[in-house]
């Protein structure tokens, strides 16, 4: 039987060439500065880059040569931890950490396992990823800033402490938002796709990146590069920029430039594309059945665009891609990660797994799973369900030869190269959070996203007093819209007015109202295809900025210029614009 990837070039790279090539990871032209010169030991030296600063890849090579086995293993692990402080935690959090890693505090976890990074966790009510978030580290901006400072202080005592540890977060906005209080909340990715203006996307993500940097976060597991081809998807849904690969790619590239322009590493996920299946990898292993031609045409373009924009990380997805490596999750597939992602798409940065505590990959011992992931080409293992087993499994595999030292050194070198890229940056002050400039960036993109899918866009869609209703559990969103309508000069009454009905994530046909004059979709717009209202609008998001933008349209003070980035049965992409 022929190799299904026979047309993909097989790239056989040595550790040395990868160390040098890592220097150009994240550059839009994929070109590197002068190769680092040899030191007396034969290892690359920290030669200056064309801008005069030391070369991160050469610095990484020098540092990795000084690390022992324990430090090498620890640098490829990025678990979560319990507790809202690095050193002082509740008795419940201490018990959680002992079960997870045999220690009481996050700082002790860093010290014992020489960790390369740690991810902050937590989830919102509508979060489709909530099932694998067993705790939260996120309460307020001040608390997060103190926590991340404590984590960096603990990491500074390690042999690899010359560079900052990676502190990551899933801050996608929309339904996957780890911190929302006290920060600028952008609309969802799908809202940005509806706005269709990459410069606004870049501006908004630069604002968000600056705020993450102020919190002490240096890696964001965003943007989602998943093209949404399944309207039944609830795990990706509005996390995607849309169904058009080219348009989604333009948005992904803009998000990468914005985040990394603010000093926060961006992550393209979930390679090679979770939007190609409606199944949820938190619950089992999704099967991607598209053939290679469709995968190339539909799934890969946004990843290529993000790589071209300079993304420093890519996240491998827990996906069974039948056309490439049937039965093997992409997390463990060299055909997908080495031959395709690195060989064909040319990615040279850090490859991180999706969370390893998800059901799709927990059918095997933790130690075995993390070794498989590193051997497959991943450089960083995210959220192993047991840190002790992950660490011990990697160390044992290194010593018995089932994990080669060259492969581990290659992975650690990439991780350290990223760290040297992030080193030396001064975190903005907390007063940058929610600044007027950042709020304006969110407002602009939210306003550009509002879409009319049914109705006359030349006149205000409501007249007279308005009654705002919603599906269950959306009291705060109703309040936001009521306040915004009042500011826009529209009278809002508890009952008897023109009904404006809000629906969002997780809602179905039973959540629609037959007497609503206006129905508004605040997540994916698919449900609007079942609504009978005279006017159908979509905001794709329920943030304060989105509700303000909606109020301006309802009051007739703004024209809805958005265009649905996904097809909705029986409805146009917009009745207001030909874009």
Residue 290 contacts residue 323 (beta carbons within 8 Å): yes
Q: Please, which residues have CB within 8 angstroms of residue 231's CB and are 6 or more apart in sequence?
A: 524, 526, 566, 567
Length of the chain: 579
Signed CA dihedral, 544, 549, 552, 553: sign only? negative
Q: Is 553 helix (H, G, I), strand (E, B) or coil?
A: helix
* Joined tokens for residue 536: 């159908």
Neighbours of 330 (CB within 10 A): 29
CA Rg, the chain, in Å?
24
Concatenated DSSP letters of 395-435:
HHHHHHTSS-HHHHHHHHHHHHHHHHHHTTPPPPPGGGTT-
Catalytic residue among 282, 318, 438, 501: 282
52/383 Cα distance (integer angstroms)? 37
Signed CA dihedral, 196, 198, 199, 203: sign only? positive
Residue 205 contacts residue 258 (beta carbons within 8 Å): yes
Whether 282 is catalytic is yes
Whether 84 is catalytic is no
Q: Could you tell me where the DSSP H helices lie in 450-543?
A: 475-487
User: If phi over 0 gives left and psi between -120 and 50 gives alpha, with beta otherwise, what is residue 570?
Assistant: left
Residue 141 contacts residue 183 (beta carbons within 8 Å): yes
Q: Could you tell me where the DSSP H helices lie in 465-528?
A: 475-487
Catalytic residue among 84, 244, 354, 511: 354
48/58 Cα distance (integer angstroms)? 9
CA 43 to chain centre: 35
If DSSP states are collapsed to H, E and C, what string results for 264-313?
CEEEEEEECCHHHCCCCCCCCCCEECCCHHHHHHHHCHHHHHHHHCCCCE
Residues annotated as catalytic (active site), given as ranges: 282, 354
């Amino acid at each position: 039987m022929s190799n299904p990837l026979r047309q993909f070039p097989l790239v056989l790279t040595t550790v040395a060439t990868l160390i040098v090539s890592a220097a150009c990871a994240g550059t839009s032209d994929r070109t590197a500065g002068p190769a680092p010169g040899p030191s007396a030991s034969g290892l690359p030296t920290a030669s200056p880059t064309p801008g005069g600063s030391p070369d991160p890849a050469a610095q990484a090579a020098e540092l990795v040569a000084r690390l022992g086995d324990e430090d090498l293993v620890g640098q490829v692990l990025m678990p979560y931890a319990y507790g809202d402080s690095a050193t002082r935690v509740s008795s419940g959090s201490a018990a959680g950490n002992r079960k997870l890693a045999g220690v009481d505090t996050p700082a002790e976890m860093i010290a014992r396992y020489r960790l390369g990074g740690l991810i902050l966790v937590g989830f919102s009510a509508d979060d489709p990823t909530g099932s694998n978030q067993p705790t939260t580290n996120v309460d307020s901006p001040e608390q997060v800033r103190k926590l991340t400072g404590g984590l960096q202080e603990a990491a500074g005592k390690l042999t690899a402490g010359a560079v900052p540890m990676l502190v990551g977060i899933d801050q996608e906005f929309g339904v996957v938002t780890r911190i929302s209080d006290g920060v600028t909340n952008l609309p969802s990715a799908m809202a940005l796709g509806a706005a269709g203006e990459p410069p606004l996307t870049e501006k908004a993500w630069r604002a968000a990146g600056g705020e993450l940097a102020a919190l002490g976060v240096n890696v964001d597991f965003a943007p989602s590069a998943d093209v949404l081809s399944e309207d039944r998807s609830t795990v990706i849904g509005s996390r995607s920029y849309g169904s058009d690969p080219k348009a989604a790619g333009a948005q992904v590239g803009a998000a990468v430039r914005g985040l990394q322009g603010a000093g926060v590493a961006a992550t393209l996920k979930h390679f090679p594309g979770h939007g190609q299946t409606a199944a949820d990898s938190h619950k089992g292993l999704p099967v991607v059945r598209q053939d290679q031609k469709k995968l190339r045409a539909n799934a890969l373009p946004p990843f290529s665009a993000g790589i071209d924009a300079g993304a420093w990380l890519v996240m491998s997805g827990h996906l069974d891609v039948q056309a490439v490596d049937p039965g093997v999750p992409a997390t463990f597939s060299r055909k997908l990660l080495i031959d395709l992602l690195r060989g064909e798409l040319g990615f040279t940065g850090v490859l991180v797994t999706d969370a390893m505590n998800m059901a799709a990959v927990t059918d095997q011992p933790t130690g075995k799973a993390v070794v498989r992931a590193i051997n497959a080409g991943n450089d960083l293992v995210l959220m192993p369900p047991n840190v002790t087993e992950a660490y011990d499994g990697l160390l044992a595999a290194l010593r018995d030869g089932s994990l080669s030292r060259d492969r581990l050194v290659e992975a650690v070198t990439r991780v350290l190269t990223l760290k040297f890229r992030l080193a030396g940056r001064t975190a903005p002050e907390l007063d940058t959070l929610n600044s007027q400039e950042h709020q304006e960036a969110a407002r602009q993109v939210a306003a550009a996203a509002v879409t009319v899918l049914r109705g006359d866009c030349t006149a205000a869609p409501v007249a007279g007093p308005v009654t705002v209703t919603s599906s269950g559990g959306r009291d705060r969103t109703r309040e936001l819209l009521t306040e915004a309508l009042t500011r826009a000069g529209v009278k809002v009454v508890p009952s008897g007015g023109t009904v404006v009905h809000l629906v969002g994530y997780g809602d179905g046909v039973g959540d629609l109202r037959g007497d609503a004059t206006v129905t508004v979709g605040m997540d994916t717009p698919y449900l609007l295809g079942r609504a009978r209202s005279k006017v159908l609008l979509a905001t794709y998001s329920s943030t304060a900025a989105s509700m303000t933008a909606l109020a301006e349209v309802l009051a007739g003070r703004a024209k809805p210029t958005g265009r649905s980035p996904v097809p909705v049965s029986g409805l146009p992409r917009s009745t207001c614009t030909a874009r």
